[in-house]
A and B are shown apart, each in its own frame.
Chain A
Amino acid sequence: MEMTGRLEAGFCVIRVDATRIDAAGALAFKDRLRDLAGDAAGDVVLDLGAVQFVDSSGLGAIVAAMKALAPVRRLHLVGLTSTVEKVFRLTRMDTVIPIHADLAAALSRRAG
């Protein structure tokens, strides 16, 4: 899956350039995220600004990624588009995964 990572302000910022995280792409997403997050220290910010759609498999993959990073590193989400936001809201997973309006809002929080 097309994803890129960089370090910024103590965070590992990973941007998903694919437009969908769905049943066909959930495994590739998990593998790629693990590679990009690596063993770096900071929290991970996942930028979903280009992602138009996440299905239940994609949601499960994001939760799995969050659990794989815990307890040392947290996963933050930014840039949720409307349909993606709806999936998180309906399943109430927005209550357990920190979601920020944009990258600046996420980076303004202290890592750790």
Chain B
Amino acid sequence: MAIDRFLTFRLDARDGEVRLTLARMTAVLVGLGIPPDDRASVEIVLAEILNNIVEHGYAPGDPGPIWIALIVEPAAVQVTISDFGRPLPAALLNPTEPPDPQSLPEGGFGWFLIHSLTTDLRAGRTRTLNRLSFRLPRGATKSDVPQSPPRQQ
């Protein structure tokens, strides 16, 4: 039976710490032998979510804490991200159309990338703590992987 691997990271919501945390996380995933394409998915999605918390979750000049938990399973990486910032607007949890490349968009890529690479994206809030969880299917694009059944939270 494959053994799940559990990783946690904590950072303050600042650009520089996002960069350092992603680098540390990637180094750990390299050490665990996670293939490059799976690592790319983790880094792309985590970068967008962490940047979003830095820019919109916490007030400028008041960067609070962010906690990340990763469970590396054979078929997916399960991720939970927690913070004390403003809650995520619920509409962002719905899949979005990609920006039209022909219009040469300079933004709107972030949530599209998140939805492209994740399944089971859920957000919750208990008093002041936000909790965002999702799965990153490994070794395949999301559309190749059946949705997993609802999991107990």
Contact = CB atoms under 8 A, between A and B. Distances in A.
A86 B142 CA distance: 14
A87 interface: yes
Interface string B91-110: 00000001101101111011
The size bracket of the interface on A is 20 to 34
B74 interface: no
Contact of A87 (B44, B51, B54, B101): B44
Contacts of B99: 91
A92 B104 CA distance: 11
Most buried by B among A23, A53, A66, A87: A23
Most buried by A among B15, B37, B101, B107: B101
A66 B99 CA distance: 16
Interface residues of B, number: 31
Contact of B110 (A56, A64, A67): A56
Contacts of B41: 86
B98 A91 contact: yes
Interface string B19-63: 100100000000000001101110110011001001100000000
A55 B48 contact: yes
Interface of A: 20, 22-24, 53, 55-57, 59-61, 63-64, 66-67, 82-83, 86-87, 90-93, 95-96
- Which 7 pairs show the lowest CB-CB distances between chains A and B? A24-B15, A56-B109, A83-B40, A60-B106, A56-B110, A55-B47, A96-B101
Interface of B: 15-16, 18-19, 22, 36-37, 39-41, 43-44, 47-48, 51, 54-55, 98-99, 101-102, 104-107, 109-110, 112-113, 116-117
Given A56-B48, A63-B106, A96-B102, 18 more contacts: A22-B19, A23-B18, A23-B55, A53-B22, A55-B47, A56-B51, A56-B109, A63-B104, A67-B106, A82-B37, A83-B43, A83-B44, A87-B44, A90-B112, A91-B99, A92-B98, A92-B101, A93-B101
